[in-house]
Amino acid sequence: MAYNILVINPGSTSTKVGVYEDEQKIFEETLRHSTEEIAKYDNIIDQKDFRKKVIIDMLKNKNYDVNAFDIIVGRGGLLKPIPGGTYAVSDELIEDLKIGKQGQHASNLGGILAKEIGDEVDAAAYIVDPVVVDELEPVARYSGMPELPRRSIFHALNQKAVAKRYAKEIGKNYNEISLIVIHLGGGVSVAAHKNGKVVDVNNILDGEGAFSPERAGTVPVGDLIKLCFSGKYSEKEIYKKICGNGGFNGYIGSNNFLDLMKMKEEGNEEAANVIDAFIYQIAKDAGAMATVLNGKVDQIICTGGISYSEFVINALKEKIGFIADFTVYPGEDELLALAQGGLRVTTGEERVMEY
């Protein structure tokens, strides 16, 4: 039996929608929302009816019967820390999405929309591997300051999807291999996957690990404290320096890796140094994750948009290829990953998780 799946991935100015028959894509659509449309709503939760109407109208325009769906999968939002997996959308999960348990983000609407549409068409509603997936080992939580334990916030959906894809391709179970997975996108997450769990990873949201196109990563803490109390910046402005205006944006004023490479090729020394430092820091993080896995790494996997760059991949291989061989899955296919998560619990390949 083939299952009809609707996937909903809300972003700040768009809602990506996918329709799948099992893992076969029927179509994908990016529904873009203007700044004026979004500005009408005081809170993210207030956008729910607007986004739902846009989705339903799009399906009707494509002559697709909404009642044909067996499974509705929404992007997970900023919930409480939870283990990885596919979760049935429950009342408690909905409530935490509404209040923004760890913050307000458009992705919080994913599970809410999935549940509401699912209830109307008698389809099961799920979320899959939200960014708050937390499987850190106890030793990894110590930061050195009791008030500030390390947190796990990263590209869980794509990291888990490519790890499971690799395991399937080599004929093994994800639960029996050890991997270092490097997501190279607007943020960079470097994670140690051991026996089906991400036992350590840098917190990409609040400043940890390598810098990236938009994020500062780990910075000198003492100097940051001085900057905070210098009187020159508000709390919001400091946070924007860490997440948004850090990394490539801070050094060259662009978050586009292609811009950086072009500048390097034109002889810009600062651009060349930034690229070298970017690769250097990622390699350091990967080396650290190798120690987490006691040096027993089955494969290093690179994914995310910057993984299309042969220059970056070759440079990383030169630095950390001694740890393990590389597999590269460039880009990210979040809609497919969401569909696959819903399908796995429906077919019994995985058990559904309870929030």
Residue 105 lies in a domain: yes
At 172, the amino acid letter reads K
CATH number, domain of 257, equals 3.30.420.40
Residue 142 lies inside a defined structural domain of this protein = no
pLDDT at 260 over 90: yes
- Residue 98's pLDDT is 94
Q: How confident is the model at residue 39 (pLDDT cuts 50, 70, 90)?
A: confident
Task: Average the pLDDT over 208-233 and give the result.
Answer: 96
Mean pLDDT of the chain: 95
Among candidate residues 37, 19, 36, the one with its CA nearest the CA of residue 28: 19
18 and 162 share a domain?
no
Contact predicate 131/76, CB 8 Å:
yes
Answer yes or no: is pLDDT of 355 > 90: yes
148 within some domain: no
Q: Is the pLDDT of residue 205 over 90?
A: no
Are residues 285 and 168 part of one domain?
A: yes
Checking if the pLDDT of 207 tops 90, the result is: no
What domain range includes position 323? 156-330
In a domain, residue 279? The reply is yes
Q: What is the number of domains present in the chain?
A: 2
Helix (H) or strand (E) holding 273: helix 269-292
pLDDT at residue 34, as a whole number: 86
Q: Maximum distance among all alpha carbons in the chain?
A: 64
Higher pLDDT, 105 or 295: 295
Gyration radius (Cα) of the chain, Å = 21
Burial class (CB in 10 A: 0-12, 13-18, 19+), 67: exposed
Same domain for 212 and 295, yes or no, is yes
Position 354 in a domain: no
Which burial class, exposed, middle or buried, applies to 257 when counting CB atoms under 10 A from its CB (0-12, 13-18, 19+)? buried
pLDDT of 290 > 90? The answer is yes
For residues 144 and 135, give the distance between their C-alpha atoms in angstroms, rounded to a whole number: 19
Q: Are residues 226 and 285 in the same domain?
A: yes
Q: Is the pTM of this model over 0.85?
A: yes
Q: Per the domain annotation, does 352 fall within a domain?
A: no
pLDDT-derived band at 149 (thresholds 50, 70, 90) equals very high
- Characterize the bridge pairing of strands 299-304 and 178-184: parallel
Mean per-residue pLDDT, 110-134: 96
pLDDT average, residue stretch 318-322: 98
Closest CA to 343 of 164, 150, 124: 124
Q: How many residues does the chain have?
A: 355
Q: What are phi and psi of 181, to 5 degrees?
A: -115, 130
Are 94 and 161 members of one domain? no
Q: Are 339 and 299 in the same domain?
A: no
pLDDT band at 35 (very low <50, low <70, confident <90, very high): confident
Query: What band does 105 get if pLDDT is binned at 50, 70 and 90?
Result: confident
Does residue 179 carry a pLDDT above 90? Answer: yes
- The verdict on 115 and 237 lying in the same domain is no
Q: Is residue 151 part of a domain?
A: no
- Residue 38 has a pLDDT of 86
Both 276 and 316 in one domain: the answer is yes
Residue 150 lies in a domain: no
Does residue 217 carry a pLDDT above 90? yes
**pLDDT at position 342:** 97
Residues 310 and 168 in one domain: yes
Alpha-carbon gap, residue 330 to 58, rounded angstroms: 29
Q: What was the pLDDT predicted at 310?
A: 97
Nearby residues of 25 by Cβ (< 8 Å), 6 or more positions away = 18, 19, 335, 336
CA distance 123 to 31: 22
Is residue 100 located within the same domain as residue 189?
no
On whether both 240 and 108 belong to a single domain, the answer is no
Q: How many CB atoms lie within 10 A of CB 354?
A: 11
Residues 193 and 323 in one domain: yes
Pairing of strands 71-75, 124-128: parallel
